[in-house]
Amino acid sequence: MNLKCDCNSLRSKTKTNLGLGLLALMVCFGSQLSLANSSTIIKLEVDNIFQSTVTGTVVDSEGVPLPGANVIEKGTTNGTQTDFDGNFSLEVADDATLVISYIGFLTQEVAVDGQSSINVQLGEDSAQLDEVIVTGYQTETKRETTAAVSIVKAEELAAIPSGNVEQQLQGRVAGVTVLSNGQPGTTSQIRVRGFGAFGGNEPLYVVDGVPVNNTEFLNPDDIETTTVLKDAAAASIYGARAANGVVVYSTKQGSKTKRRTTMSLNISSGVTDPNSGGAPQNMNPLDMARYTHIAYENNAAANGTAVQYSHPQYGSNPTPVFPDYLHADGQNGVSASEINLAEIQANYAADPENVFLIRPNLRGTNWYKALTRIAPLSRFSLGFDGGNENGRFYVGISAQTQAGILLNNDFERYTARFNSEWDVAPWLSIGENFQVTYRSVVGGFGGQGGVEGADDESVILSAYRMPTIIPVRDEFGSFASTRAAGFNNPRNPVRQQTLNAGDDKAYGIGGFGNFYVLIKPVESLTFRSSLGGGYSNSHNVNYNFRYLGDSEPEASNSFSEGSSYSFNWTFTNTLAYEELFG
């Protein structure tokens, strides 16, 4: 029994550039956030300024250029491919190490050491050339492959502790980009040939020879190899569907040579801490007030008029003054002497949904930190594989639970897979691949309760729109409203994610598989007939509870519910002839 226990801290980095200007009045100092990989962990990082551009040529042992060779900066996702003449250019750190690889050749590592030009000669890997790869509906050896094909094996995918097979490709294949909104249970976007196609940029996904719409049902521990077909030569058998490349997943099948059953157990766990490097900082209340008054001054200068300070919170003097209360039962920007606290308390007791008493948080509320949490992930996989001279099989079950970094956002997935192939006669073999999957998402935002991609009007956006002077809760312990005048129309994201999202749920069950027959009527001739398909049934419910505290309030409760199902099938017949002449 193989027992592997991984405890990983899943961390990714985001570069944040801070600058000052009038546009900072809206949210913060103009923070620009760009996700570096599939997770949504945000970490402030300063770029390494000691970088240089390295150029070079990759050739074989006879000096022939190798087009399409992968050149990657070791330990990063920074990489490129050589052009038709074997040339490459890549910006790397001065102390970087380049990893150069090409199908059928030994991978080579070269230290940059401040060099601006590096020429690499790769030696042939005879063992690798005989490795069988899957391209289209057929198999062939790397020695026979002339197309641009990249292969990622199971042990390489296991190095990335993610429950999403798409995210595990990030940084593993040169030229392939993986985009994710970071929400657990949602599909990622893979780009093999870049962006810009009017007909879409999504590649074709193929699982065990059957095209599928997405791969969210797959358990990463069931995958044997992932093959990315990049050019037209590799993907031509799929026709127009492969215009943006093809990603081929081959699941584990067992072995006819083992003659015994092997059990494998994989238990992995980790946590995602979105604030491990410090939560992103928005403009503090004092700077917000100062820049608000600067905006009045700039506006007056542009119009050639006298400056008029008239903010409902900061007053009408040249120097902004913070009020004792941002909002007090309908009054904005008032001092303690201007309100009757006993009367407001009585009004709150009579109508708690419509009465708010909000003091300013002069230290500033970090809304992103208030909205997020440390999110654990755990995955359990149990597999059995074996076989004899007449057949082979693989059985796998898995359970995965993952908390999102947002409050009340959770994902669960359970899978069961059975693959087998048996020789009925010397000329006849039959086989099947079948999987059942159940998955659920709680508190997701976006299409179909968070199962699809996230929408633009998300709680993350609300966290950056909220003024830091507003606290999470008011003086009565209720969620602080955004009725206070002078702050546009944001919504309290903690209130949204706590009251609404906790009851939102999307769940579904699906089955996928194929049955195939292999017939060898004569030597060197193989006929393969396959019938495959998939069925899915999903259901989602969404709630929006009445809340009168927003500047644009939800005046009534609402509920939406939706269901969908789909069924597709593919019937494939291929005839292959293989003969060695000479």
The letter for the amino acid at 97 is: T
Give pLDDT, residue 309: 92
Q: What is the pLDDT of residue 199?
A: 64
The rounded distance, in Å, linking the Cα atoms of 322 and 336 is 12
Determine the pLDDT at residue 6.
38
Distance CA 482, CA 367 (A): 14
Q: Distance between CA atoms of 272 and 507, rounded to whole angstroms?
A: 23
Q: What confidence score (pLDDT) does residue 210 get?
A: 87
Q: Cβ contacts of residue 121 below 8 Å, gap of 6+?
A: 58, 59, 60, 61, 63
Check residue 104 and give its pLDDT.
74
Residues 6+ apart with CB under 8 A from 148: 68, 229, 230, 231, 233, 234
Gap between the Cα atoms of 381 and 267, Å rounded? 6
Q: Cα–Cα distance between 530 and 518 in angstroms, integer?
A: 9
Residue 408 has, within 13 A of its CA and on its CB side, a CA count of 19
Check residue 126 and give its pLDDT. 57
Euclidean distance between CA atoms 382 and 345, whole angstroms: 59
Is residue 466 a contact partner of residue 497, using CB atoms and an 8 Å limit? no
Q: How far, in Å, CA of 48 to CA of 71, rounded?
A: 20
Q: How far is CA 319 from CA 297, 334, 541, in A?
A: 12, 17, 50
What are the tokens at 569?
Answer: 């099938």
pLDDT at 289: 94
**Of the candidates 292, 337, 283, the residue with the CA atom closest to the CA atom of residue 318:** 292
Helix (H) or strand (E) holding 367: helix 367-371
pLDDT in tens, the chain (582 residues): 343 333 333 333 333 333 323 333 333 333 333 333 333 333 334 344 467 889 999 998 888 899 889 999 998 888 899 998 999 999 998 889 999 998 778 899 999 988 889 999 998 775 554 455 555 555 555 544 545 667 777 777 766 667 778 777 777 777 788 877 777 877 778 888 776 666 677 888 999 888 888 888 888 899 988 888 877 666 677 777 777 888 889 999 988 877 788 999 999 888 889 888 888 888 999 999 999 999 999 999 999 999 999 999 999 999 999 999 999 998 999 999 999 999 999 999 999 988 999 999 999 999 999 999 999 999 999 999 998 888 999 999 999 999 989 999 999 999 999 999 999 999 999 999 999 999 999 887 654 434 444 444 578 888 988 999 999 999 999 999 888 888 888 889 999 888 877 788 899 999 999 999 999 999 889 999 999 999 999 999 988 888 888 877 777 888 889 999 999 999 999 888 888 775
**pLDDT at res. 137:** 55
Sequence ranges of the domains in the chain = 1-123, 126-250, 252-283+365-582
Coil, strand or helix: which one is 312? coil
pTM above 0.75, yes or no: no
Separation of first and last alpha carbons in the chain: 47
Amino acid identity of residue 367, one-letter, is W
Amino acid residing at 404: G
In angstroms, the CA 283 to CA 83 distance is 46
Beta bridge mates, 73: 98
- Determine the longest span between alpha carbons in the chain, in angstroms: 102
Q: Which fold has domain 126-250?
A: Ferric Hydroxamate Uptake Protein; Chain A, domain 1 (2.170.130)
pLDDT of residue 528: 92
How far apart are the C-alpha atoms of 254 and 271, rounded to whole Å? 32
Q: Angle at Cα 277 formed by Cα 276 and Cα 280, nearest 5°?
A: 105
Of 35, 79, 85, 74, nearest in space to 173 by CA: 79
Enclosing H/E stretch for 515: strand 505-522
What whole-number distance in Å separates Cα of residue 47 and Cα of residue 45? Answer: 6
**Closest alpha carbon to 316 in 304, 333, 301:** 333
Whole-angstrom Cα distance, residue 286 to residue 467? 11
Strands 558-577 and 525-544, sheet pairing? antiparallel
pLDDT at 190: 83
Which CATH number applies to 1-123? 2.60.40.1120
pLDDT of the residue at 556: 81
pLDDT the model gives residue 529: 94
The number of residues in the chain equals 582
3-state secondary structure 467-491: CCCCCCECCCCCECCCCCCCCCCCC
d(CA 279, CA 249): 37
Query: Residue 215: what pLDDT?
Result: 86
Both structure tokens of 409: 């956002």
Q: Are 80 and 89 in contact (CB under 8 A)?
A: yes
